[in-house]
Amino acid sequence: MKVLDPRLDAHGEALQPARALPSLNGSVIALLDNAKIGTARFYDFVEEILTKEHGVREFIRRRKPDTTRPVPAQMLAEMSGADALISGIGD
């Protein structure tokens, strides 16, 4: 007997990791806060480490209005000038 695959995509979703930056020195990094209670403080440390130890020049920080929903398009556009974006998920 033949039975059917219950998944929407039988082959899964192929994730493509973003290409690494050649260097963080002098770069602009966007930090997208997912609006969880501890994220801002965590990002403070991330910013400090990336500045002192890796020479990141500038940060664009934004906080999503809602933890459970995607980042608004306008907010994403405000971060589009960054060389890389770190997006917070979970707690």
Partner 1 sequence: MNEAEPLSSAAYEVADDFEANELYQKNGWTDGLPIVAPTESRVRAFVAAASLSPDAVVGVEPVRRRRITAEKIAIAAVMAGCLPEYMPVVVAIVKALCEPQYGLHGSSASTGGSAPFIVVNGPIRNELGMNATHNVFANGSRANAAIGRSIRLFILNVLGGIPGQLDRSTLGHPGKFSFCVAEDEEDSAWTPLSVERGIPPGESAITVMAVESPHQIMNEWTHDPREILDTYAAAVRANMLTYSIWEGNYAIVVPKQHRQIFNAAGWAKQQIREYLYETCRVARREWRTVGKAAVAGRKDEERVYRALRTPDDLLVVAAGGPAGGFGAIVPPWYGQKSLAVTMQI
Binding site for partner 1 (CB under 8 A): 1-8, 10, 13, 66-70, 90-91
Could you tell me which of 3, 50, 45 has the C-alpha nearest to residue 25? 50
In the complex, least distance from residue 66 CB atom to partner 1, rounded to whole angstroms: 7
Q: Cβ 89 to partner 1, closest distance in Å?
A: 9
**Closer residue to partner 1 (CB): 34 or 51:** 34
When the beta carbons of 29 and 64 are compared against partner 1, the nearer one is 64
Distance between CA 85 and CA 76 in Å, rounded? Answer: 10
Q: What are phi and psi of 16, to 5 degrees?
A: -105, 110
